[in-house]
């Protein structure tokens, strides 16, 4: 409320009435009917009252100000009645305050960066496609802590769990095949490092997303053991098999022609990891499918948003009731004075 002074003209501005909420809106029908009923009663009284001829000067009706003065008490009474009805309508202003907080999810992205991720059945290759959808996935999160683990022949924690999404995306942009020197695909080691990073988490919901295109052929822990370890710490695991099997494009030969190689992946092993981890297994054979998989996971794993609403409602009927009393007192005053007793000469 801009002004609590009831003498202010602010109370009678159109925008003030529009800003109010009215508890008894039916009163507005009475406000519309009041002037109509009044003038109807006056018309009936005029028809039924005996008419006494009075001799008037020709210019008396136009020059005599008494006709105007006689209307003042009527207007004061109508204003008082309308303001009383407005007060009865209970004009109110509500100030609503909403407090929100979230119970975030801790998410660890475990990404394969082995040599096979250079295969070009994705555009421009599997690794770059995975980096792109991971970045988009991060953009869609809200107050969730996200970490990154990369692996090939061994595993490496690239980022701990954090809500610094800009930092995470910069880490993802810098991911390259030369970050880990040892060759091979150590899926079990990737899961184990991801689980180790999530031991510090006290979140009610912990999720690991594993992207891989190969078979576990390196590392000192097998994927099933690593998956059981993650499950023991209530970490849900989603696995994504990225890429096609069989002949797939892999770079160019000496003459600039596309070179093809045979590719295989342990789909059953990734399915078993997801089953143990209580998550889901997905297969993505192109960029669109990979993006769709991340969208599905994004919908499954939403942070719980809680909110508390506080409503502060204030009544302002008393302002208009006071004005109604003022007009009523003015009406009583004018009714008993010369305003209502002026006679036309």
What does the pLDDT read at residue 132? 93
Give domain status of residue 151, yes or no: yes
Give domain status of residue 227, yes or no: yes
One domain for residues 29 and 110: no
Give domain status of residue 129, yes or no: yes
One domain for residues 59 and 175: no
What does the pLDDT read at residue 18? 78
Give domain status of residue 43, yes or no: yes
One domain for residues 290 and 159: yes
Instruction: Give residue 30's Cα distance to chain centre.
Output: 41
Give domain status of residue 164, yes or no: yes
Give domain status of residue 307, yes or no: no
Total domain count, the chain: 2
Neighbours of 168 (CB within 10 A): 23
Give domain status of residue 40, yes or no: yes
What confidence tens digit (pLDDT) does each residue in 258-309 have? 777 777 788 999 999 999 999 999 999 888 888 998 888 888 777 665 656 6
One domain for residues 144 and 63: no
pTM over 0.75: no
- Distance, CA of 133 to CA of 339 (rounded, Å): 84
One domain for residues 205 and 292: yes
Which runs of consecutive H residues, i.e. helices, occur in the chain?
14-19, 27-48, 60-63, 66-88, 126-139, 165-173, 187-197, 223-232, 267-276, 287-300, 317-335
One domain for residues 142 and 15: no
One domain for residues 274 and 134: yes
Which residues span the domain enclosing 110? 106-302
For each successive 10 residues of the chain (345 residues), what is the average pLDDT? 60 77 84 80 71 50 57 82 87 74 83 92 92 92 91 94 94 94 92 94 89 88 95 95 82 72 84 95 90 86 64 81 88 71 47
Give domain status of residue 309, yes or no: no
One domain for residues 176 and 236: yes
């Amino acid at each position: 409320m801009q002004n609590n002074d009831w003498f202010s003209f602010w109370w009678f501005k159109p925008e003030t009435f529009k800003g109010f909420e009215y508890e008894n809106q039916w009163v507005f029908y009475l406000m519309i009917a009041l002037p109509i009923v009044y003038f109807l009663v006056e018309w009936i009284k005029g028809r039924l009252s005996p008419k006494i001829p009075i001799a008037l000067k020709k210019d008396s009706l136009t020059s005599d100000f008494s006709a105007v003065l006689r209307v003042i008490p009527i207007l004061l009474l109508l204003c008082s009645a309308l303001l009383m009805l407005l007060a009865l309508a209970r004009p109110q202003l509500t100030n609503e305050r909403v407090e929100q907080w979230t119970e975030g999810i801790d998410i660890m992205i475990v990404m394969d960066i082995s040599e096979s991720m250079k295969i070009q059945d994705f555009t421009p290759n599997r690794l770059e496609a995975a980096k792109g959808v991971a970045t988009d996935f991060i953009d869609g999160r809200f107050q969730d802590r996200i970490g990154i683990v990369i692996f090939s022949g061994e595993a490496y924690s690239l980022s701990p769990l954090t809500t610094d999404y800009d930092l995470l995306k910069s880490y993802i942009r810098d991911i390259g095949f030369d970050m880990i020197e040892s060759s091979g695909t150590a899926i079990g080691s990737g899961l184990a490092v991801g689980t180790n990073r999530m031991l510090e988490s006290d979140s009610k919901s912990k999720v690991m997303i594993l992207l891989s295109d190969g078979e576990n052929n390196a590392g000192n822990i097998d994927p099933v053991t690593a998956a059981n370890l993650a499950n023991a710490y209530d970490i849900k695991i989603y696995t994504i098999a990225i890429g096609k099997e069989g002949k797939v494009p892999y770079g160019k030969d000496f003459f600039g022609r596309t070179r093809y190689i045979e590719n295989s992946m342990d789909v059953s092993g990734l399915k078993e990891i997801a089953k143990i981890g209580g998550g889901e297994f997905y297969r993505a054979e192109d960029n669109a499918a990979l993006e769709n998989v991340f969208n599905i996971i994004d919908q499954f794993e939403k942070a719980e948003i809680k909110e508390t609403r506080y409503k502060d409602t204030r009544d302002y009927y008393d302002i208009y009731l006071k004005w109604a009393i003022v007009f009523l007192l003015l009406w009583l005053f004018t009714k008993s004075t010369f305003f209502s007793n002026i006679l036309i000469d």
